[in-house]
Structure 1
Amino acid sequence: MPRWKPDAYARLVVAAVDLFAEHGYENTTVIEIAERAGLTKSTFFRYFSDKREVLFGGGAVATVLAEAIDEVAADRSPREVIASALDAVGSQTFTPETREFSARRRAVIAASPELQEREALKGLALTSAMCDGLVRRGLPELTARIAAEFGALAMDIAYERWSVPTCDEDFGLVARQALDDVYEASTGS
């Protein structure tokens, strides 16, 4: 059997989440993650700066959001732009194949204050990516900021709803419903 196996990145992520769930985030080392994945510590550090980053995707979701916002037709409202961006995240990141992993990831983060803090920072980065994209489209900064905040809240709610085992809907549909719920709640209806 060959020594090299493909998908080192994915293997490291799965190994880390498994170990974090089994032993706790604080009690898991980088060496244990690498060994579980059948890799070396140096391979781990080619992909991640530390064990926290295994759970946070290195900015991939922010990139998907920004690119999707840039691709939406110019005549669309901020709400429609955000909805399209959330659809893109669903089709590229939150797929049916990643649902179980996402639920496990959420549980690991919920068990660690350090990871909760990092998740909050990631949320700010996603909000900023949406806001910046809307400003690039020519929206006034305040309008862009509000739309981005609504989008980030909707994305957070959608991720929470979508990652439970009983949900069988596409992330994009769940996100659009969450976005509708956020807008409706903002009017006090």
Structure 2
Amino acid sequence: MARWEPNARERLVRAALDLFTEQGYDATTVNEIADRAGLTKTTFFRHFSDKREVLFAGQDTHTRLLADAIDAAPGSATPLEAVRAALDALTATFTDDRREFGARLRPVIAGHTELQERSALKRAKLAEAVTDALHKRGVPEPTASLAAELGIRAYHDAFDQWADPAGRQTLTELTRHVLDELRAALAALD
């Protein structure tokens, strides 16, 4: 692949996942990732601070999608309705062609403590973004953080189901279903 071709960021992500799957996270270097992508080490560091971050490339985009959708939700929307709208906006970006990538990503993260910690940080940052967006709508605590936690848990639980290559449902459908299950479980606590 020529170094001038577009989509350097995506190429780096795919190359990293390929190498992490083939030879393990610890055994893979930034130079190998850049070489596999047909790029230079300098280009890698223009996009990512380290090899761990390459697997979490979408975090900023996901955060923005969630916050923007909550902001755009009708004023009459309940906190969970606003969260549902945000989850719909986020999960709509996960097309079926990304399912295989998700299926390969999960075991790489599960197999390495450093990546599990980074995944937990991403989850916390997404929940924080949702909480902040709900606060901007005037939703008080603890309602805002509880709605955010339910939404992000629904997204993550649904993602694990969606990443199954045999799956047929969209991530949006799965996330809605899991959120409904969590809402029912919450109501059953009373």
> TM-score range with shorter-chain normalisation?
over 0.9
In the alignment, structure 1 segments of 5+ residues that lack a partner are none
Task: Give aligned-pair identity as a percent.
Answer: 49
Aligned runs of 1:105-184 on 2, under 5 Å?
105-184=105-184
Deviation at 1:3, TM superposition (A): 4.8
Deviation at 1:188, TM superposition (A): 2.9
3-state DSSP of counterpart to 1:141: coil
Contact kept? 2:3, 2:39, Cα under 8 Å: no
User: Aligned partners of 1:28, 1:141: CA distance in 2, in Å?
Assistant: 43
User: Aligned partners of 1:71, 1:187: CA distance in 2, in Å?
Assistant: 27
AA of the residue aligned to 2:174: V
User: Aligned partners of 1:105, 1:158: CA distance in 2, in Å?
Assistant: 15
Aligned runs of 1:1-189 on 2, under 5 Å?
3-57=3-57, 58-92=59-93, 94-188=94-188
AA of the residue aligned to 1:87: D
TM normalised by structure 2 equals: 0.95
Please list the CA deviations of residues 125-147 of structure 1 after superposition, one character each: whole Å capped at 9, or x if unmatched: 01001100111011112110110
User: Aligned partners of 1:151, 1:2: CA distance in 2, in Å?
Assistant: 41
AA of the residue aligned to 2:9: Y
Go from structure 1 to structure 2 and tell me whether the alpha carbon gap of 1:78 and 1:3 turns closer, same or farther (over 3 Å shift). Answer: closer
Please list the CA deviations of residues 113-162 of structure 1 after superposition, one character each: whole Å capped at 9, or x if unmatched: 11001100110001001100111011112110110111111111111111
Deviation at 1:2, TM superposition (A): 5.9
Please list the CA deviations of residues 10-39 of structure 1 after superposition, one character each: whole Å capped at 9, or x if unmatched: 110000000000111111000000000000
Please list the CA deviations of residues 31-79 of structure 1 after superposition, one character each: whole Å capped at 9, or x if unmatched: 0000000000000001000001111124221111111111111111111
RMSD: 1.4
* Runs of 4+ with deviation above 6 angstroms: none
Deviation at 1:95, TM superposition (A): 1.5
3-state DSSP of counterpart to 1:12: helix
TM normalised by structure 1 equals: 0.95
AA of the residue aligned to 2:35: E
User: Aligned partners of 1:69, 1:167: CA distance in 2, in Å?
Assistant: 28
User: Aligned partners of 1:3, 1:77: CA distance in 2, in Å?
Assistant: 49
Contact kept? 2:157, 2:178, Cα under 8 Å: yes
In the alignment, structure 2 segments of 5+ residues that lack a partner are none
